[in-house]
Structure 1
Amino acid sequence: MQNLLTFGARHRLITLIILTLVTALCATGLDKLRIDTSFDSLISDNDPTKIAYETIKDEFGSDNTTMIYVRSENLWTEDRIAALEEMHYALEDLPFVQRVESLFNTRSIRDRDGMIESSTVLDGVPFDASEMADAKARALYSPLVVGNFISEDGTVTAINVSIEKDPTDPEFDRHAFEAMNAAIAPYTDAFDESFQVGPPRVNEETTVSLFADFSRLIPLSLGVLIVTIVIFLRNGLACIFPLLTSALSIVFAFGLMGHLGIPINILSAMVPSLVIVIGSTEDTHMLASYLQGLGGGDADAKKSERRRAATFFMVRQLGLPLILTSVTTTLGFSANGFAEMELIRDFSYSASMAIAANAVVTILTIPLLLTIFGPLKSRLHTHNPSSETPEEDLSGIVGAILSVFRRIVEKPKTVIAVSAVLFVVCTAFGFQTKVSNDPIAFFKSDHPLVQNVEQLAEDLSGMEIFYINLDSTEDFAFRQPENLRKLAAIKQYIMADGRFDNAISIADHLSMVNREFHGSDPAMMTVPDTPELVNQYLLFFQRGDLESYISADYERANMVVRHNIHNSHDLKLAVADLTAKVHEIAGPGLRVHLVGQNLMINNAAEDLIAAQVQSVLLLLAVIFIMMSLVYTSVIGGLLSLIPNIIPIAVIFGVMGIFDIPLNPGTATVAVIAIGIAIDDTIHLLSTYAHESRLTPDRMLAIRRTQTHQAIPAISTSVALGAGFLVLMDSNFTIISQFGMLSAIAMIAALVADLIVTPVLMSFVRLVGLDEILMLRVGKSVFENSPLFDGMTPYQMRKTVLLSETQPFKAGDRLVEQGTVGDDMIMILSGQVVVTLDQNGKTTRLAERGPGGILGEIGFVQEQERTANVDAVTDGEMLVFNAERVRRNMLLYPHIASKLNQNIARILGARLAATSQRLGQFEEAGKTS
């Protein structure tokens, strides 16, 4: 591992060549990047209504409908109606247009002095005031026209354009939007206001907003990064390194996206900002460790030697944590790769590649740069970080914050109680979180698109469309009045319910004719009573008038429903109620399908919850297993999770309290927060494991750990929080919400790491797998010492690491006769002699070398030492304090059992030897 992490420092030229070649290769993929803002990416691949939707769409026409909104206070004039007609036909001429509906081809049925008149609302442009007034009257008279093509006051009209999307054109929406704008542009000056609302515009506005976010958020993120690093590391040069690694990582990631065909979408537009902010966290940890290494180096050495020494100190300190945090952060993003929604999957892929690329670039680049350009002076520490009073080592803001946190940690019961209450309360509010997946809701309320959508809904009907499709196996089923009445009953429920704006079916067309046959009596706006009347009334319509509502064989009827519900939770409830009612009305004889792109997008919102839970559990499981292996203990795995579960609870609590929905943006927050927040936890646990080897005092080890990690933990958390807050300036609501929640998660994670984690650490002693593997103890120690009988090499090494290692020099007295103690000593290296002071004489009792055990009786029961132990040569010993060993071994009961068993055997052997000597003395006394 050390060789990997120091590769850049040891092989500068090779590293530079590798980075240059990889950058050049990835850069060739940048021109292959494409943007995908289509609604298809918001739909689950496994939506059960997808097949039925495609079938119904093929038969009754696309629900991909754009409304051309036109308003004029004096609409009914010759020049304006002429301009409106030109718009209609210009739109019809577009190659991708399937159907155009407006006042010029909508059927009007009206009783004229006992004669039934069937014509379009506008048959060309009226040439005099009388004809114009008559045309306006026809438009305002028809219930099929008002609310669909004309407002109640006659000042607003709409042209509905059904579009057949070209799946081979990745930029179809932009082309369609621009083509429709170009088609209507010559005529818009005739009106007070005109605009188009529909999927092409939504997608085009999304694309424009994406580029606006790119140009604004990236510089802001860079600014936040620079300011944070300068403030906390107090070194201007240090901010250059993260900028370089971020730039290379972005080129790597976006180049790979281009080569792999992964598009940029509304979420992956955040990737540059995320890389800049998240990627800088490890840079900051590395720089802080480098500056710490400067403080402990030889100030008189050459500059190059000082830089190299500090760099290698950094690598030794951060080797395992650096690898672990890179893996967990990447996992945090990649966990969303299992989502059924393409939008989230593509974001997961792009972000994972970017973070992984940043890890590789950082590992190669930072050591290289530090050995050449690394600063030579550190302003962070006023004393040695290993001093006995580490709380005095940090000054400024970090020192003040750390001082407050330490006072809180001194009350562990309060910390645990408050944390538990906070978790429960936030979790309870979290269950109130709703889901949302509507593209219009992605934009902020003051966006022109949102305002246009609301204006359309207020003057006419909402832009959202779905179909209610009834299917029968009987011939000409929907020429039968009883089935038509079912359509009418569904329409009656929809209008009475009030949540949907409008609904039209063949039943409305026939009811309108029936009304006119009964002298325009509103009470007769009902379905005709007999099949004969149905057949007669159908003669008033052409096939083109009804093709959106009835199949050619009259076995399938289609109702078009329009609404303006852009809250997925509300739409879900409304559709659920409607579905139940439609099935009730339709009965067992008819098959029912509620389908539409809008509904599939809404259905995918429900998948967000399942995907979120799945991703969070998967990531937690992976982290738990990984950390349990790293710290060789299940408790170690749990310890790493607890501080990172708290921020997740806080996120969902905030969402529930402030009614922030779970949407494609916020759905990714939890796993990303875990992946990032575990970073500081890993660094804390790794440093604590290291410090615990240097002192038996757990609280001192914790204080030293806090001192070492305070600057990188606080600075990275503040940088991350500020960086995520930058995203609140996005044009998209879901990105703003993502930024705010992520910032909250970072601060919550910081508090948990510097308060909750130290409290939890005070109860355990961790041993890292790297410490076990790297432990250097002579083989003879394990072979010669009865203390390790029956233990595996792994258990032997772990036992050594769970005790306290102390060096000694020749002449040192290790044990003083007459003192009271409960420490047991094992010699790791060197030679010691055991002597007895008695009657003014010193008697040499024994010598002990590597593997030798001393003080085993005191370890079992504290008592007065009966002999002296003095060092003959320099060496190292292992000190087993009875109470500390008991506490440390709580996490490792199997090792504790073997250790106690071996101690018992040693005591038994000593007792047997003592008894034998006593017997020999007694025997000698008898013979004498």
Structure 2
Amino acid sequence: MAISVIPGLNVNIDFDDYYPNKDPELIFFHHVKKELGNDEHILLVAVEAGNSLFDPGFLHKIKDAASQIRSLQEVKRVSDLTSLKSYKKSPFGIISSNYIKPGKARDTVDFSKLAKDSLYTKRFYNQPRNAIYLYVQLIDTLHPVEVDNALNQITSVLEDQEFEAYHLMGRKYLESEYKKIVNRELGRSVIYTLAVIVVILFFFFRSIKGILFPVVSMILALVMLYGSLAVLNRDLHIMSNLFPTIILIVGISDIIHILSGYDFEFRRGFDIHTSTKLVLHKIGTAIFLTSITTAIGFLTLCSSSMKAISSFGMEAAIAVLIAFVFSILWAHLFLYQFNIKIPVHTKKNQLNWAKVSRWIHKIVVHRSGLIWVISVIVLMASFIGISRINYNNLQVTNIPLDHRLRSDFNYFDELLGGSRTFELLVSSDKESGLRDKSHIAKFYQLHNYLESFPEINGIISPYSWYQLVVNIYDRSLNAHEIEDQQVIDKFVDGLPLNFYAGDWKLVNKNENIGRFSGRMKDIGRLEVIKINKKINQWIEDNNFPQDLKFQVSGTDHMIDRGHYHRIKNMIQGLVIALVAVSVLIALIFRSRSLLFISLIVNLFPIIIVAGIMGFAGIEMRGSTTILFTIGFVIAIDDTLHLISKYQYFKMEGLPIELNLEKSILEAGRAIVTTSVILIGGFLVLLHSQSWDIRTLGILVSLMLFVAVIVDLFLLPSLIFKFDKR
């Protein structure tokens, strides 16, 4: 049944899912969208002209391309320089004429009007005048498949014109390309992860049955997960690339513990039935506990204010529980039905774990002081690294290096004024408050101030709009110099209603909300905040009227807010995970010392990896903050397995030294095996084109590597010191 519904599973990339829900700035952002419109459905096309964008042949091709794109049923409107109109008051009303006038032999360009109206017209070409912009507005009710079709047709039109080069930018374009990336990588993730698992299992077990048992059970679990998501109408997203790794790797880790325990009992001379019973009795509780703690850890992500992260947390928790159920059920089935004999590891071809475990035990018992000293030194160095963590969050970081998205992004950022949008919104408490002559004069000052920033380019503003209105009546007047309010009122009131038409506006119809808009360099979230603070301080210092309120907003600002909230919620998620795991450990083991030890030990990998991030200059991005929760809930599994084994022998009355020796011997090999598989599985994520996913794979692998070292050395040494009851 699960297989039959999987074809109905959709991949949906919606950037709204990464906005912080219930954030006051997001609420304001949606309110302004209703009043002024937004650029979410606008595709910005930059076409390179070569020497000059006013070349007649080039303009003819632009006009032809714009006309073909305009005829597409998915396109609502196309704005470009060849169709741009200027307006003039005449005895017959307000009449319009093109800035570029068609002629029989060649089109003519009205350069004087273009220059006079540059506050408005400059958004249609770049400063060197060698590239022209087309603003293609898609119908906002399009299904993702229709968006893909529209983008394919638009690129086909541009290719047919044989332009020197063209570049695309826009939310729908990014969503469409990321969806293609996710579709490609989901299949690769499954194949690569399975390949890594098979190789590692063969290395450790050298048994076809030992490979088939875990692999088949987890493939079925993965099918069940995707089938469940399809039935629940839950779409796949960028984070879904982690599902194969989570369910295959985490689930197989449970099976490895079962197989290792079964092998140990079988070698002691017990038959299959008895060995299976002993294994499930000894480590069944530990497997259940680790699965529950892992699931709860992922569920803590549901506290995120971002839909994408909370959905991932819920779906990952479901994946872990499905993997647990399949590992237990298939353990019974396979171990009873097949005589899985795992070959003895000889010195010739395998690691002699008994010898290694005795060496570890010797260091734990006789060199515990050295372990603690090394641990303290590493921790101190890690805290220095943490102080150097980069939180700037460049947008280019997560754009694939070898993808067209990266070249388009770089072109806009370096040559067309910036890859980000800049939006400063202004609102007035008064109806038609923005048209006040004193306000227009202040808008002029602010407009010029914003243009003084080298990082901000192509500013258009409420002043641009009012100057455009003034130009309709008298091109010799400057809007900020008009002293008679009645003149401004007459000009604005004389506009036809359709002058306010369009889905993207500088000033709303009631003239109480407007925007300063431009392009901005990708200088990073923290640097943008610094500029925003300078702007707000300048507004405060220049005595703007009290009825005017200013607020930074826009799509890119909301992306920055998403990073901020996810980084801020990182500690909250970790605390929730720590509390949840602590409660479970306390209920199961009923030992304060073991609770304290297990939590301390599993904070080490988090702190050390955070320090590595600081020294390596790796950005702490919103999407990578979940690595600490993922790493913690997965890494603690091995800790719980060793503690469970220790508690089992403790109840049998073994002295602590012998207890630790047997615990390391029996649980250690499974810990090493599962850790190698986990690390290999997460390193598979390096194939992803997403920087965030690749970084997640590297850092979680590092965290798991540190965790296995800590579990085998620091954990037993702390138990030996503090749990001698």
Q: Is this a same-fold pair by TM over 0.5?
A: yes
In structure 2, relative to structure 1, the CA distance for the partners of 1:372 and 1:46 (3 Å cut) is same
Residues 1:237 and 2:209 are matched in the alignment:
yes
1:339-370 superposed Cα distances (whole Å, 9 cap, x missing partner):
11011111112111111100001100122102
**Aligned: 1:56 with 2:32:** yes
**Corresponding residue for residue 555 of structure 1:** 512
1:493 aligns with 2:459: no
- Aligned match of 2:226 in 237, 241, 254? 254
* Correspondences of 1:144-543 after superposition (within 5 Å): 144=119, 148-166=123-141, 172-183=143-154, 185-190=156-161, 191-297=163-269, 306-380=271-345, 396=351, 398=353, 402=357, 405-406=360-361, 408-409=363-364, 410-435=366-391, 441-510=397-466, 528-531=482-485, 534=488
Structure 1 residue matching 2:452: 3-state secondary structure = helix
Q: What's the CA shift string for 1:11-50, capped at 9, x where partnerless?
A: xxxxxxxxxxxxx3x3444244222211111111112123
Give the deviation of 1:530 after TM superposition. Answer: 4.3
Distance 1:599 1:420, change over 3 A: same
Match among 47, 70, 88 for residue 70 of structure 1: 47
Q: How many angstroms apart in 1 are the aligned matches of 2:216 and 2:327? A: 9
Does the alignment pair 1:45 with 2:16?
no
CA 1:495–1:275: 2 relative to 1, 3 Å: same
For residues 534 and 121 of structure 1, do their structure 2 counterparts lie closer, same or farther at Cα, with a shift above 3 Å needed?
Answer: same
- 1:700 maps to 658
Shift of 1:177: 4.0
Give the superposition deviation at 1:674.
Answer: 1.4
Secondary structure of 2:46 counterpart: strand
Q: 1:645 aligns with which of 603, 615, 633?
A: 603
Distance 2:485 2:610 in 1: 58
CA contact under 8 A between 1:468 and 1:558: conserved in structure 2? yes
What code does the residue aligned with 1:189 have? D
- Corresponding letter in the other structure for 1:84: I
1:575 to 532, 544, 555: 532
Aligned residue type for 1:568: R
Q: Is the 8 A contact 1:628 1:635 kept in 2?
A: no
Corresponding letter in the other structure for 2:79:
E
Q: Is the 8 A contact 2:361 2:660 kept in 1?
A: no
Cα distance in 2 for residues equivalent to 1:178 and 1:401: 60
For structure 2, the residue ranges without an aligned partner over 5 or more in a row are 89-94
How far residue 291 of structure 1 moved from its aligned partner, in angstroms, is: 1.1
Q: CA deviation at 1:399?
A: 6.1
Counterpart position of 1:849 = none
Higher mean displacement: 439-448 or 55-64:
439-448
| Alpha-carbon distance in 1 for matches of 2:110, 2:155 | 23
- Go from structure 1 to structure 2 and tell me whether the alpha carbon gap of 1:152 and 1:146 turns closer, same or farther (over 3 Å shift): farther
Give the deviation of 1:643 after TM superposition. 1.3
Matched, 1:590 2:536: no
CA distance in 2: counterparts of 1:398 and 1:437, whole angstroms? 45
Match of 1:83 among 41, 51, 61: 61
Letter matched to residue 560 of structure 2: N
Question: Which residue is equivalent to 1:623?
Answer: 581
In 2: Cα distance, 1:448 partner to 1:516 partner: 42
| 1:657 corresponding residue in structure 2 | 615
2: CA distance between counterparts of 1:491 and 1:363?
Answer: 67
Matching residue within 682, 695, 700 for 1:724: 682
- Equivalent residue of 1:486, what SS? helix
Query: How many Å apart are 1:600 and its aligned residue?
Result: 2.0
Following superposition, the deviation at residue 525 of structure 1 comes to: 9.6
Letter in 1 for 2:78: V
Say which SS state the counterpart of residue 264 (structure 1) adopts: coil
Question: Match of 1:100?
Answer: 78
Q: Take 1:564 and 1:319, find their aligned partners in 2: how far apart are those partners? A: 56
Write the distance in 1 (CA, Å) between the matches of 2:61 and 2:461. 30
| Runs (5+) with no aligned partner, structure 1 | 1-23, 111-116, 299-305, 383-392, 766-886, 889-928
Q: Which amino acid aligns with 2:714?
A: V
Contact 2:258 2:283 (C-alpha < 8 Å) held by counterparts: yes
Q: 1:693 to 1:58 in 2, by over 3 A?
A: closer
- 2:176 is paired with a residue whose SS is helix
Cα 1:613–1:642 shift into 2, 3 Å: same
Instruction: Tell me the CA shift for residue 648 of structure 1.
Output: 0.9
Q: Distance in 2 between matches of 1:381 and 1:688?
A: 27
Q: What do residues 546-572 of structure 1 show as CA deviations (whole Å, max 9, x unaligned)?
A: 661223343333222322427333334
TM-score (norm 2): 0.89
Aligned to 2:693: 735
Task: Label 1:206 to 1:423 Cα distance change in 2 as closer, same or farther (>3 A).
Answer: same
Is the CA contact (8 Å cut-off) linking 1:500 and 1:562 kept in structure 2? Answer: yes
Give the secondary-structure state (helix, strand or coil) at the position aligned to 1:148. Answer: helix
Distance 1:490 1:682 in 2: 61
User: What is the deviation of 1:488?
Assistant: 2.3
> What is the alpha-carbon distance in structure 1 between the residues aligned to residue 155 and residue 115 of structure 2?
24
Output the CA distance in 1 between the equivalents of 2:481 and 2:419.
28
Greater shift, 394-403 or 601-610, is seen at 394-403
1:132-151 correspondence to structure 2 within 5 Å: 132=108, 134-135=109-110, 139=114, 143-144=118-119, 148-151=123-126
1:652-680 CA-to-partner distances (Å, cap 9, x unmatched) read: 22222223233343121111111111111
Question: What does the per-residue CA deviation read over 1:144-187, in whole Å, with 9 as the maximum and x for residues that have no partner?
Answer: 36752212333211111344522xx6xx3442242144146235
Q: Secondary structure, in 3 states, of the residue corresponding to 1:349?
A: helix
State TM-score, norm by structure 1: 0.71
The aligned amino acid for 1:101 is S
Using the TM superposition, give the Cα deviation of residue 96 of structure 1 relative to its aligned residue in structure 2, in angstroms.
5.5
Rg comparison, structure with higher value:
1
SS at match of 2:565: helix
- Tell me if structure 1 keeps the 8 A contact 2:473–2:491: no
CA contact (8 A) 1:288 1:712 kept: yes
- How far does the alpha carbon of each residue in 1:91-112 deviate from its partner, in whole angstroms, 9 at most, with x for none? 44455655432213445599xx
1:864 matched residue in structure 2:
none
Is 1:34 paired with 2:5?
Answer: no
> Bigger CA drift: 31-40 or 395-404?
395-404
Could you tell me which of 664, 668, 682 is aligned with 2:640? Answer: 682
Pairs aligned (count): 712
How far off its partner does 1:647 sit? Answer: 0.7
| Contact preservation (8 Å) 1:233, 1:288 | no
**What is the CA–CA distance in structure 2 between the aligned matches of 1:71 and 1:540, rounded to whole Å?**
39
Q: Distance in 2 between matches of 1:431 and 1:97?
A: 49
Relative contact order (C-alpha < 8 Å, sep 6+): which is higher? 2
Local SS of the residue matching 1:161? strand
For the Cα contact (< 8 Å) 2:306–2:562, is it kept in 1? yes
Residues 614 and 193 of structure 1: CA distance in aligned 2, closer, same or farther (over 3 Å): same
Query: What's the offset of the Cα at 1:252?
Result: 1.5
Give the letter for the 2:581 counterpart.
I
Q: Which amino acid aligns with 1:531?
A: Q
Residues 405 and 754 of structure 1 are in contact (CA less than 8 Å); yes or no, is this contact kept in structure 2? yes
Per-residue CA deviations over 1:610-634 (Å, capped at 9, x if unaligned) read 3221211111111112112222122
List per-residue Cα deviations over 1:881-914 (Å, max 9, x = no partner). Answer: xxxxxx51xxxxxxxxxxxxxxxxxxxxxxxxxx
Structure 2 contact 48–130 (Cα < 8 Å) conserved? yes
Distance 1:460-1:320 versus aligned 2 partners, 3 A rule: same
